[in-house]
């Protein structure tokens, strides 16, 4: 499926690998937490970039110090109503200081992209046919925000005090 990173479609340097599938010969691999925990040493010893995909009920703290050896954390939205990943992304950026890619995968809506962007997502696996114009529009619907988040965007209170 198409991948947006930053603000453009890019070729996906990673393959999402099922638990019982072989790892790709080259290029990055994204594995589930279960597989990561099982094959941790082997996975970390590979020369290729590694990512872990977390389910909605999997707290990123479960990755421990290994987090900083990952290039990607993919956060699943099993159903768009399940908003736990918003907190996981924020946690990854702030508490855990993760600077790699946080990608949104699964069932999420166009209307959630702006919120995802604010809490620290910087990559999106989107449905076929989704356009980059839609992506930019999603981010531009609301100009200002009332509260701080992981994106560090200036809040309305800060803008007011600068007047």
Partner 1 sequence: MYRYDEFDAQFVAERVEQFRGQVARRLSGELNEDQFKPLRLMNGLYLQLHAYMLRIAIPYGTLSSKQMRMLAHIARKYDKGFGHFTTRTNMQFHWIRLVDVPDVLADLASVEMHCIQTSGNCVRNVTADQFAGATPEEIEDPRPLAEIIRQWSSLHPEFVFLARKFKIAVGATPHDRAALQWHDMAVEIVRNGHGQVGYKVIAGGGMGRTPYIAHVMSEFVEREDILAYLEAVLRVYNMDSRRDNIHKQRIKILINSIGPEEMRRRVAREFDEIKQTGTLQLPPEELARIAAYFAPPSFEKLPDVMPTGDADFENWKKASIHAHRAPGYAIATISLKAVGETPGDISADQMDVIADMMDAFSVGEIRVTHEQNLVLPHVRQRDLPQIHARLKAIGLATPNAGLITDIICCPGLDYCDLANARSIPIAQKIARRFADLRRQHDIGELKIKISGCINACGHHHAGHIGILGVDKKGVEFYQLQLGGSGAEDASIGDIMGPGFGEHEIADAVERVVNHYLKVRRDGERFLDTYRRLGMEPFKNVAYQEQLNAAYNG
Number of Cβ within a 10 Å radius of residue 97: 9
Specify the residue, 10 or 57, whose C-beta has the smaller distance to partner 1. Answer: 57
Would you give the DSSP letter of residue 129?
A: T
Alpha carbons 14 and 73: distance in angstroms, whole number:
11
Is the CB of 11 or the CB of 160 nearer to partner 1? 160
Region of residue 21 (left: phi > 0; alpha: psi -120 to 50; beta: else): beta
Residue 105 three-state SS: strand
The least distance separating partner 1 from the CB of residue 118, rounded to whole angstroms, comes to 4
State the nearest-atom distance from the C-beta of 148 to partner 1, in Å: 4
Output the smallest distance, CB 130 to partner 1, in A.
Answer: 11
Q: Which residues of this chain interact with partner 1, rule CB under 8 A?
A: 56-57, 59, 80-84, 86-88, 90, 94-95, 109, 111-112, 114-116, 118-119, 141-149, 156-157, 159-160
Minimum gap (Å) between residue 20 Cβ and partner 1: 25
| Six token digits for residue 13 | 């340097």
């Amino acid at each position: 499926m198409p991948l947006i990173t930053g603000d453009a479609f890019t070729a996906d340097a990673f393959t999402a690998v099922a638990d019982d599938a072989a790892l790709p010969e080259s290029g990055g691999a994204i594995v589930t937490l279960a597989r990561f925990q099982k094959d941790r040493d082997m996975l970390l010893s590979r020369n290729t970039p590694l990512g872990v995909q977390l389910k909605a009920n999997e707290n990123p703290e479960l990755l421990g110090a290994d987090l900083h050896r990952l290039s990607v954390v993919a956060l699943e939205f099993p159903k768009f109503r399940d908003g736990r990943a918003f907190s996981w992304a924020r946690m990854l950026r702030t508490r855990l200081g993760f600077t790699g890619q946080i990608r949104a995968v699964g069932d999420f809506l166009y209307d959630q992209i702006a919120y995802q962007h604010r809490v620290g997502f910087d990559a999106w696996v989107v449905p076929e046919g989704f356009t980059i114009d839609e992506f930019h529009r999603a981010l531009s619907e609301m100009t200002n925000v009332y509260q701080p988040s992981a994106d560090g965007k200036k809040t309305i209170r800060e803008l007011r005090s600068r007047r």
